[in-house]
Structure 1
Amino acid sequence: MSTTLGIIEGFYGPVWSWQERKQLVRTLAPHGYGFYLYAPKADAFLRRRWQEPYPSEMASELSEFGRFCRAQGMRFGVGLSPYEIFNCFDDAARAVLAEKLEMLDSLGIDELAILFDDMHADTPALAETQADIMQWVRERTQAEYLSVCPSYYSDDPVLDRVFGQRPPAYLETLGRRLDHDIQIFWTGEEVCSREISPGHLKRVSEQLGRKPVLWDNYPVNDGDRMSRHLHLRGFTGRPAANGAYLSGHGINPALQSVLTTIPAITLVESYRQGPQYQYAQAFRHAAKEVLGKELADQLHADLLVLQDTGLGRISEEKRQSLMHTYDAYDHPAASEITRWLAGEYQVTDEMVQTQ
C-alpha cells in the first residue's frame, strides 16, 4: 500500500489517557499506520494558551509517547494552533513562537504541523501571511516533516459562514508561495466528507501545486450532534484510486479509542483490496479482530441503534437494556459503549467554542 496512513488526534471534547493512545498505536501500527499527529483541541498549550510553556510533567509524557510511537514504527508529530497569530505576526508573536518551537524540538518530534483551522481571520493577504509564517517556522524547526492546515481546508461553505468569506484564489496563492516540501491538509468537499473521489483530489492537487494530505473526518464523532452517535462502520466513499492523488491519509479518530480501531482497520482493507473491498464485510472482520467473536457479533447486532439511532432517540428502556448487555463483557470497548450510553462522551457546543 503506497499511501501512508496515520492518526490525527484532532477532535474536540474529552481527552484520551496516554494508555489509551498507546493501545491505539499498538493495534494500528501492525496494520501499516505510519504516523501519529498529536493535536487534541482540549490541549490548551497547543491552542488557546499556546504562548505558555508546557508543564514539565506533560512535556515529559509527550516526549515519552513520541519515543513509544517511533519504537512501534510510527513517526510522531505535534499539531500547534498558534491562535489567530496570522492577524498580528509581530516581533512579540515571533519571540513567543520561537520559544514554543524550541520546546517542541526538545521533545524530539518528527513532524510539526501548524494548524490555522477554526480561527477567525481579519488580515487581508491571508494566504501570503500564512505562507510567510510557515517559511519563518521552517527556518527554525528541527522537525523533518512540516505541514500546514489552511484556514479554508475544504470546499464546504460552512467555513465561509462561520469564519468569514475565503479570499479569492486562497488555495492557489498558498500553494504557490509555500515551499514544495511543506505538506498541506485537506478534508475534501465537506468538512466531514461523505465521499472523497480521485477527480476531486486531482483538482485540489492542481490548485495546491502538490498532493494534499487527507485529513479525514471519519470516524470522528465530536460536537453536540455527532457525539450522540458511535461511528463504527467500515469506511465508504474512499476508493483506493485516491492514493494516486494523496501524499498521506490521516484519520481523525472517534472519541472512543478502542472502538475507533475497527473502522481504522477497514480503511487499510479498502486500499489493499481496491474494487474488491466490501465495507460491511470489512467491519465484521475488523470487529472480530479487535473485540473477539462474541462481542463483535453483539456489536454487529446493535449497529443500527448505536450508529444510526443514537442517544437522542433511544428510549430509556432500550438504553438500560444496552447498558445491561455491554456491562456483561469484560472488554475496554464494551466499557466505552456503557460510558457512551451514560452520556460520558457528550461534547457540548461550549466545549467546541472554548477549546
Structure 2
Amino acid sequence: MYFDIRGIVEGFYGKPWTHQERKDLIKFMEKNNYNLYIYAPKADTYHRFNWGKKYPSSFMEEFKDLIIEGKKSNIDVSIAISPGLSLKYSNNDQLLKLKEKFETFINIGVKTICLFLDDIPTNLQYEEDKNKYNDLADAQQDFTNKLYNELSNKIEKFIFCPTHYHGEVGDYQKKLGKTLNSEIEIIWTGPEVCSEKIPLNDSEKISKAFKRKVLYWDNYPVNDSTMVSEMHLGPYIGRDKNLFKNSKGFLINPMNQAYASMITLGAISEYLNNPESYDPDISLRNSISRLTNLKNELYEFSKVNVQSPLNKENTYTKNFINTFNKLYENSSSKGIEYLKNESKKIFKIYSKLMSLQKKLKENLIPWLKNYKNSGFLIEKISELIELSQPLIHEKFNNEDINKLRKKILEVENLLKLCIELDTKVYGEDLIKFALIHLKNAKGFIKLNIF
C-alpha cells in the first residue's frame, strides 16, 4: 500500500453536507478504496465558533449512524474540533472542556480525533499565554500533547492541523516536529493553501522538519471562497508520483457539491492507490464511467470545467479559440462553421446530461445552464461574425446594418446572462472572445456609417 491514510475531509467553508450526502459518500469511499472520513465543516458553529459547547443529541444520533455506516464500509469516521479562535492554550479548564467533548464522540465509536488550529491568528492573543509560552508553536505543542496524553489510550489516531500549514518551512514547523508526540499526525497543504503542484522536495523538507511522514491536506477539488463560481472537474495533476515515500497519506477537501465531487474524488483515488502508474486523464475517464452511463458526455462537459488552482486556465477554451482563429484566418466560412459545430455539440451534450441521475444533476445544474448558455453565445458569435462579413468587404446595405445591430443586442444579452448565472464554464476566455467580436461588429458599423 502506497499511502496509509486515504481520506476525505469535509473541511470547506459554506453550507455543510446533509447526513444523507455523508452516508452516500461513505459508500462511495468504500468502492474507491478510501479509508478515513473527517467531519470538519467550517460553518458548523459547534466545530469552530462554539467549540466549547457539546453537540445536541440529534446531531450525535446522526453521527453514530454515520459511524455504523462507516464500519460496514471499512471507513474510519472521524471528528475534528477547531477551537483556535478563542482558545487559551494555558487554560486547563478549556483543555478539560475539549477533552470531554472529544470523549462524547469516542463513547459512540470514534477512533480518530482531529485538532485543527488552522485559519486563526498567527500570534498568541491572551496575556496568560504570552506570559507562559515563548511563541505560538510552544503553546500549541504543550496544549496538544496534554490533550493527546489524556485521550491516547482511548483512540487509534490523533491528527493535528497547525496554524502555519503551507509554504516555507521554518522555526514553527521545526519546533512542532521536535516537541509534538511522535504518534501525532501533522497536516500540511504543500507550497500553497491550494497547491498547484506538490513536488517531491516539498514532502522531503516538511517531513524532515516534522520528524515524521507528513499528512497532506489537499485543497482540491474544493470550490469555496473565491472559487464558488467554479466546478472543479479537471484531472488531478501536479502531485509527484513518489510522494508516498515521505507522506503518510492525503486528506482530500471536496467541493460543497457532494455528488459532483465524486467525479474528481474517484479519479484521485486511483492516484492514492497507485501513484506510480497513475494517468490523470485515464483515471478521470474511469471515475466518470463508474458514476454514469453518459460517460462521453460527462467527460466532454468536464473539459470546460477545469479552471482551478491545479489548472490556472481552461486549456480547452484556449485551444478552441486558437483553432477558430487559424481557420478564420484562412477561410472565414470555415471558422464560422467551426463555431456553429461547437454550439451544436453543446446542445446535444446538454440534452443528454439532463437525464443524469437526480442527485448528480442537481449539483451540476447551475453549470449545465451556463453550458447551454455558452452554446447559445458561441452560436450567436458565429452569426455576428457572419453578418459582419458584408461590412468588412464593403458590400452592404441598410438591411445588413439592421441585422447586425439586432445580433449585437442578442450577444450582449447572452453575456449579461453569463454574469447573472454566476457560474464559470469555459472560463473567462470565452467572455473575452465574445467581447472582442462584439466590439469588432460595433466598430464595423461605426466605420461604415457617417
Q: Identify the TM-score tier after normalising by the shorter chain.
A: 0.7 to 0.9
SS at match of 1:78: strand
The 1:70/1:35 distance shift into structure 2, 3 A limit, reads same
Task: Write the mapping of 1:291-306 to structure 2, written as runs, cut at 5 A.
Answer: 291-292=292-293, 294=294, 296-306=295-305
Highest RCO, 1 vs 2 (Cα 8 Å, sep ≥ 6): 1
Residue 90 of structure 2 is matched in structure 1 by: 89
Please tell me whether residue 188 in structure 1 is matched to residue 187 in structure 2: no
How many residues are treated as equivalent by the alignment? 327
Please tell me whether residue 338 in structure 1 is matched to residue 365 in structure 2: yes
Q: Distance in 2 between matches of 1:180 and 1:344?
A: 49
Kept in 2, the 8 Å contact 1:219–1:263? The answer is yes
Per-residue CA distance 1:141-165 (angstroms, 9 max, x = gap)? 2222111000000017xxxxxxxxx
Q: 2:223 aligns with which of 214, 221, 224?
A: 221
SS at match of 2:242: helix
User: 1:274: how far off?
Assistant: 4.1
Q: Distance in 2 between matches of 1:240 and 1:214?
A: 14
Residue 81 of structure 2 is matched in structure 1 by: 80
Per-residue CA distance 1:212-245 (angstroms, 9 max, x = gap)? 111011111111x211111112211123311111
Name the Cα RMSD after superposition: 2.7
User: 1:332: how far off?
Assistant: 1.7
User: 1:118: how far off?
Assistant: 0.3
Higher mean C-alpha deviation, range 172-181 or range 131-140: 131-140
Q: Distance in 2 between matches of 1:323 and 1:41?
A: 34
Q: Which amino acid aligns with 1:136?
A: K
Stretches of structure 1 that go unaligned for 5 or more consecutive residues are 157-165, 347-355
Kept in 2, the 8 Å contact 1:66–1:108? The answer is yes
Q: Distance in 2 between matches of 1:236 and 1:23?
A: 26
Kept in 1, the 8 Å contact 2:6–2:272? The answer is no
Q: Distance in 1 between matches of 2:11 and 2:421?
A: 19
Task: Write the mapping of 1:53-68 to structure 2, written as runs, cut at 5 A.
Answer: 53-68=54-69
SS at match of 1:140: helix
Per-residue CA distance 1:184-204 (angstroms, 9 max, x = gap)? 001001110111122110111
Stretches of structure 2 that go unaligned for 5 or more consecutive residues are 125-133, 308-312, 318-342, 370-419, 424-450
Kept in 1, the 8 Å contact 2:29–2:75? The answer is no
User: 1:35: how far off?
Assistant: 0.7
SS at match of 1:249: strand
Residue 154 of structure 1 is matched in structure 2 by: 166
* TM-score, length basis structure 1: 0.84
Kept in 2, the 8 Å contact 1:231–1:307? The answer is yes
Q: Of the two, which has the highest radius of gyration?
A: 2
User: 1:130: how far off?
Assistant: 0.6
Per-residue CA distance 1:321-355 (angstroms, 9 max, x = gap)? 79866444343211211155689999xxxxxxxxx
Report sequence identity in percent: 27
Q: Distance in 1 between matches of 2:52 and 2:367?
A: 34
Q: Which amino acid aligns with 1:298?
A: E
Q: Which amino acid aligns with 1:184?
A: I
Which one has a larger percent helix, Structure 1 or Structure 2? 2
Q: Distance in 1 between matches of 2:38 and 2:65?
A: 14
Q: Distance in 2 between matches of 1:93 and 1:240?
A: 42
Q: Which amino acid aligns with 1:301?
A: E
